[in-house]
Amino acid sequence: MCVSERSSGSDVLVIGGGVIGLVTAWRAAQRGLRVTVADPAPGGGAAQVAAGMLAAVTELHYGEQMLLGLNLASAARYPSFVAELEEASGRDTGFRTCGTLAVALDSDDRAHLRELHALQERSGLESVWLSGRECRRLEPMLAPGVRGGLRVDGDHQVDPRRLAAALLTACERAGVAFRRTTAERLTVTGGRAAGALLGDGTEFAADQVVLAAGSLSGRLAGLPPELVPPVRPVKGQVLRLTVPRAYAPFLSRTVRAVVRGGHLYLVPRENGELVVGATSEEMGWDTTVTAGGVYELLRDAHELVPGITELPLTETRAGLRPASPDNAPLLGPTALPGLLLATGHHRNGVLLTPVTGDAMADVLTTGELPATARPFTPGRFEPAAPALQEQPA
Ligand code: GLY
């Protein structure tokens, strides 16, 4: 039985309480909108697994130049964003301006890194080529065989678990309401999104609905088939180790490498946590931690930093990246009035949290996305409107 709660609805219903949903809710509430978040466990999601690298430069991939602009804009926003969030929530986010060192273990890796360096230079990005000896001078725990590396002083880190907790508190303090249940079905009335049927049986009314459910975004019932977001889960297994005080500083900055074609990174936190990631697996909704995944990560990390085998292994976990066909997020209005998306952030959800919050608050209050976010509208994946379709001769 459905219980109508239309009278107690919101201006905005955000479906999904991960960092993207929470930042959208917080920023919209700051602009004076009445906001509700529907999520059985807000503050959870992929950010509970993510390492939190803010790696706009070292995670640059061929073909992602358009995304690079958004990534850089968000990286530049981070210091003021965390300052405001920490003030609003009274919580530390673990933001650390430590920089990153990307290293090569053999001549193939070195050739790959040289290519990346050239791409970075062509893209106007700052990175410095170092010899193996210079890399080890910066990070003495690196293997003696390291053949060279790139020092990127602008790629920092944040602790995604603390970020999520801070956003949750900031939302609560800004008056965001929470419905700790799932959103089962989008409600469409009179040709526009009008809320959702929630898992507790209530019909929740809202003027605007933001679908921010990460890799689950395509699973909401009631979406018009042509507007189902093309977002798929990409599994990442991640390890957490602890650096005993006597070993500190084990690493002083994020260290990453491409080993046997896989991306490996070690992210050292100030509290002694060392995050090692990550596999990238197309396995559907599977979040099993496998012996093979743990073995590969430890084997590759050991090649890079042999001393890692001395550290206590404290956690193994797998999460699901919400990947879109072009690896970039889907931000803003859809062809269904009242329905907006904030999803598909793939490898960059934590990095893109600040600009996503800004962009979604803009579009929710003015109907317009800021210029930086306009290339990322969901319309790039929607079928052409009938009037624009090619007509038969
Ligand atoms: N951004 C790191 C990852 O997706 O593994």
List CB contacts of 97: < 8 A, sequence separation 6 or more.
79, 156
Whether 190 maps to a domain, the answer reads yes
Same domain flag for 148 and 236: yes
Q: Which residues constitute the domain of residue 131?
A: 100-153+232-323
* pLDDT at 263 (0 to 100): 87
Whether 68 maps to a domain, the answer reads no
Whether 333 maps to a domain, the answer reads yes
Atom of ligand 1 nearest to the CA of 350: 1
**What DSSP letter does each residue of 284-314 carry, written as one string?**
TT-----HHHHHHHHHHHHHH-GGGGGS-EE
Given a cut of 50, is residue 388 above it in pLDDT? no
- Looking at residues 186-200, what average pLDDT do you find? 97
Ligand 1 center to 68 CA (angstroms): 15
Same domain flag for 190 and 315: no
Ligand 1 center to 214 CA (angstroms): 14
CA distance 199 to 3: 11
- Looking at residues 184-193, what average pLDDT do you find? 97
Whether 241 maps to a domain, the answer reads yes
Percent of the chain with pLDDT over 70: 95
Ligand 1 close to Cβ of residue 18 (< 6 A): no
- Looking at residues 269-289, what average pLDDT do you find? 96
What tokens were used for 281?
């697996």
Q: Which residue has the least CA distance to atom 1 on ligand 1? A: 347
Q: Which of 112-126, 193-207, 298-312 has the lowest mean pLDDT?
A: 112-126
Q: Give the count of domains, the chain.
A: 2
Over residues 239-277, the pLDDT tens digits come to 999 999 988 889 999 999 988 778 899 999 999 999 999
- Looking at residues 352-369, what average pLDDT do you find? 98
Given a cut of 70, is residue 202 above it in pLDDT? yes
- Looking at residues 64-89, what average pLDDT do you find? 96
**What DSSP letter does each residue of 27-91 carry, written as one string?**
HHHHTT--EEEE-SSTT-SGGGT---EE-TTTT--TT-HHHHHHHHHHHHHHHHHHHHHHHHHS-
CATH number of the domain bearing residue 316: 3.30.9.10
Ligand 1 close to Cβ of residue 53 (< 6 A): yes
Same domain flag for 254 and 310: yes
Whether 91 maps to a domain, the answer reads no
- Looking at residues 334-354, what average pLDDT do you find? 98
Given a cut of 80, is residue 31 above it in pLDDT? yes
Ligand 1 close to Cβ of residue 321 (< 6 A): yes
Under the banding of pLDDT at 50, 70 and 90, the label for residue 297 is very high
Q: Which of 29-33, 60-64, 295-299 has the lowest mean pLDDT?
A: 60-64
Same domain flag for 243 and 318: yes
* pLDDT at 9 (0 to 100): 86
Question: Which of 54, 59, 163, 240 to mutate for ligand 1's pocket (most ligand atoms within 8 Å of CB)?
Answer: 59
Q: How far is CA 143 from CA 200, 227, 237, 251, 293, in A?
A: 54, 49, 23, 12, 22
Q: Which of 69-78, 145-154, 227-236, 259-268 has the lowest mean pLDDT?
A: 259-268
Given a cut of 70, is residue 387 above it in pLDDT? no
Over residues 146-168, the pLDDT tens digits come to 999 999 999 999 999 999 999 99
Q: Which residue has the least CA distance to atom 3 on ligand 1? A: 347
Ligand 1 center to 348 CA (angstroms): 7
Whether 92 maps to a domain, the answer reads no
Same domain flag for 315 and 242: yes
Same domain flag for 169 and 141: no
* pLDDT at 64 (0 to 100): 87
Given a cut of 70, is residue 176 above it in pLDDT? yes
Percent of the chain with pLDDT over 90: 88
Same domain flag for 111 and 236: yes
* pLDDT at 169 (0 to 100): 98
* pLDDT at 383 (0 to 100): 78
In terms of DSSP bridges, do strands 339-343 and 202-211 run parallel, antiparallel, or are they unpaired? parallel
Same domain flag for 316 and 260: yes
**What DSSP letter does each residue of 178-208 carry, written as one string?**
EE-S-EEEEEEETTEEEEEEETTSEEEEEEE
Ligand 1 close to Cβ of residue 256 (< 6 A): no
- Looking at residues 39-50, what average pLDDT do you find? 97
CA distance 317 to 324: 22
- Looking at residues 127-136, what average pLDDT do you find? 96
Instruction: Show which of 323, 352, 367 is a domain's final residue.
Output: 323
Instruction: Show which of 308, 323, 338 is a domain's final residue.
Output: 323
Element housing 322 (H / E): strand 313-323
Instruction: Show which of 281, 308, 323 is a domain's final residue.
Output: 323
Whether 57 maps to a domain, the answer reads no
Given a cut of 80, is residue 347 above it in pLDDT? yes
Name the more confident of 3 and 68: 68
Same domain flag for 148 and 249: yes
Ligand 1 center to 349 CA (angstroms): 9
ω into residue 249 within 30 of 0, thus cis? yes
Under the banding of pLDDT at 50, 70 and 90, the label for residue 8 is low
CATH number of the domain bearing residue 38: 3.50.50.60
Whether 59 maps to a domain, the answer reads no
Over residues 83-106, the pLDDT tens digits come to 999 999 999 999 999 999 999 998
3-state helix, strand, coil in the chain (%, to 5): 35, 30, 35
Same domain flag for 208 and 177: yes
Same domain flag for 237 and 266: yes
Ligand 1 close to Cβ of residue 378 (< 6 A): no
Same domain flag for 148 and 244: yes
pTM above 0.85, yes or no: yes
Given a cut of 50, is residue 231 above it in pLDDT? yes
Ligand 1 center to 137 CA (angstroms): 27
CA distance 61 to 194: 39
Given a cut of 90, is residue 3 above it in pLDDT? no
* pLDDT at 259 (0 to 100): 84
Ligand 1 close to Cβ of residue 277 (< 6 A): yes
Name the more confident of 370 and 246: 370
